[in-house]
Amino acid sequence: MRRLYIDFDGVVLDTIPPLYEKLGIDTSGVDNGSAEEKIQKFANYDYRNVVKDKYILNDSINCIKKLLDSKRFEISFLSHVHSLDEAIVKTKYLRRHFKDDTTIIIVPGKISKTKMVHSEGAILVDDFSSNLREWQEAGGIAVRFNQELESKGFKVIDKLDQLLDMFDENGDEIC
């Protein structure tokens, strides 16, 4: 059984577009203030407004249940947060869907995911390329989640249950 870490924002739920819209952050490259100002906006935001079932990405909740049923992976959620409130909202949401059959690892926004868990040989599914690059450099297996299947040099999926086609019953990669 291989360790599988699943990112939350942009993989389980499509929280980024509504969050940026509600915070008035332009994603087109227009300057919206300093990084610290953006982080402060994230830290003060009420995440209950975006952590909702209506933002489920590509049937992710059911796909994760399929992955759990396959018994191929030891599944954990690995999510960056900017505040304790964000961590609480995400944890409550995941527990509502997955009870105690997964681990939830909350990562402070300024710390690399590779510093929180043992990444060597483990799979990370994430939408953010820099997280995936760091993961690979630490000896992990990086899988990019992208609805347009843009790989940016990584293995890429647009539905989480596609991992069943990439890894066999032992969690080993299928060539």
CATH number for the domain spanning 56: value is 3.40.50.1000
Per-residue confidence (pLDDT) for residue 24, from 0 to 100? 84
DSSP 26: -
CA torsion, ordered 164, 169, 172, 175, to nearest 10 deg: -60
Per-residue confidence (pLDDT) for residue 32, from 0 to 100? 56
Beta strand 141-145 with 155-157 is parallel
| Composition of the chain by helix, strand, coil, percent to 5 | 40, 20, 40
Distance CA 11, CA 57 (A): 6
Distance CA 145, CA 132 (A): 10
**Is 155 domain-assigned?**
yes
Q: What is the pLDDT along the chain (175 residues), one digit of tens a residue?
A: 899 999 999 999 999 899 888 888 876 655 556 777 777 888 888 899 999 999 999 999 999 999 999 999 999 999 999 999 999 999 999 999 998 889 999 999 999 999 999 999 999 999 999 999 999 999 999 999 999 999 999 999 999 999 999 999 888 888 6
CB count within 10 Å of CB 77 equals 22
- What is the token pair recorded at 14? 């499509």
Per-residue confidence (pLDDT) for residue 25, from 0 to 100? 81
Range of the domain at 75: 2-14+52-166
Task: Tell me how many domains the chain contains.
Answer: 1
Per-residue confidence (pLDDT) for residue 28, from 0 to 100? 64
**Is 173 domain-assigned?**
no
**Is 67 domain-assigned?**
yes
What's the predicted TM-score (pTM) here?
0.92
**Is 82 domain-assigned?**
yes
**Is 41 domain-assigned?**
no
**Is 36 domain-assigned?**
no
**Is 63 domain-assigned?**
yes
Per-residue CA distances from 153 to 25, 83, 125, 133, 173 (Å): 27, 31, 14, 10, 17
**Is 130 domain-assigned?**
yes
Bridge partners (DSSP) of residue 106 are 79
Per-residue CA distances from 142 to 56, 115, 138, 156 (Å): 22, 16, 10, 9
